[in-house]
Amino acid sequence: MQTFTIPTPDDWHLHLRDEAMLATTVPASAAVFNRAVIMPNLVPPVTTVEAAMAYRQRILQQLPETYRFQPMMALYLTAETTPELVAEAAANEHIIGFKLYPSGATTNSAAGVKSVDALAPVLEAMQQHEVPLLVHGEVTDADVDIFDREKVFIDRHLRPITEKFPTLRLVLEHITTADAVAFVEESSEYVAATMTPQHLLMNRNDLLVGGVRPHNYCLPILKRRSHQMELQRAALSGNPKFFLGTDSAPHTQDKKETACGCAGCYSAPAAIELYAEFFDAHGALDKLADFASGFGADFYRMPRNTNELTLVKETWQVPATVDTANGPMVPYWSGESLNWKVQS
């Protein structure tokens, strides 16, 4: 097979950052994806419909005229979020849901939630208005091992949430563990998960063996191989609860290669090719279309895309760096070869 065509994919978890960085990040994702869920962890965070619409406009201003990209905005869930705001968001076609960041869990999450239990009135409103909850599923307690944070969050918070709000539509983002796979598989049709290329293609050896590799550092952190294999099994299973969300997270090289490097992998320059690499390596290219272009749209109750994207079997190298107005970025898979390339 020398070419492979799928419906144009969507990215159900994307960081674009803001201001000058948008000139680089928006075209990179818009060249491949029809729609993307835009993460709200700016500084200050995007906590209101008004702020989300202003951010959306800044994104659209960087969109090349020939692209059909639709940014779908998420609002940052805080202790100040109200049921009234949930109703306002539900009435806006450009707002897709609310993002729950535990305070301190990842980049720009200081304003995040400190008490999940206190969110009950807001979660009730989200269930009532059918507004999805997008979850960064990690606890941040100092006494919890970083490799166990996802499992503890699921047991401590997600299971009670799904029991108390059984029809709340919930997406556990960028899952990393066998525990997360089991939770999603065992939960109702209202629970789904996104998967990143780095968590499918790598495990913690790729972060730590031979020295720390800062451009493979992300949160939730890469886990042991046994967890990676469970993620792979779920992605290859054809289960509609699992779908594409790159979590592409741009940071300039100087912010990654430092004593306290930022968490995040900037995968946008090779996003769909990375997923194609994974599915092809497992003899399952026929599963890519649903994973990348179908299951996410179905869960979010949106029409599947009718336009198409073609991949060509052609070996190429991911660029060593990507220039931005803020300085160079080192993309995920930098300098490494991939066997599929988007047809121009």
Active site residues: 247
Q: Is 282 annotated as a binding residue?
A: no
Strand locations in the chain (E): 3-7, 11-14, 35-38, 70-76, 95-100, 133-135, 170-172, 191-195, 242-244, 308-317, 337-342
In this structure, the chain runs to a length of 344
- The phi, psi pair for 293, rounded to 5°, reads -125, -5
Is the Cβ–Cβ distance between 309 and 37 less than 8 Å? no
Q: Is 268 annotated as a binding residue?
A: no
Q: Is 305 annotated as a binding residue?
A: no
Q: Is 174 annotated as a binding residue?
A: yes
Comparing C-alpha atoms, which of 113, 68, 75 is closest to residue 92?
75
Cα–Cα separations (whole angstroms), residue 225 to 115, 137, 229, 245:
32, 20, 6, 20
Rounded Cα–Cα distance for residues 151 and 283 (Å): 30
Comparing C-alpha atoms, which of 259, 255, 205 is closest to residue 228?
205
Cα–Cα separations (whole angstroms), residue 234 to 162, 175, 238:
21, 11, 7
Q: For residue 329, what is the DSSP state?
A: B
Q: Is 263 annotated as a binding residue?
A: yes
Q: Is 236 annotated as a binding residue?
A: no
Q: Is 17 annotated as a binding residue?
A: yes
Return the residue matching tokens 């994207």: 309
Q: Which ranges constitute the DSSP H helices of 61-177?
A: 83-90, 120-129, 149-153, 159-164
Rounded Cα–Cα distance for residues 147 and 52 (Å): 33
Q: Is 204 annotated as a binding residue?
A: no
Q: Is 136 annotated as a binding residue?
A: yes
Binding residues: 13, 15-17, 41, 99, 136, 174, 219, 247, 251, 263
Binding residues for Zn(2+): 13, 15, 99, 136, 174, 247
Binding residues for substrate: 15-17, 41, 136, 219, 251, 263
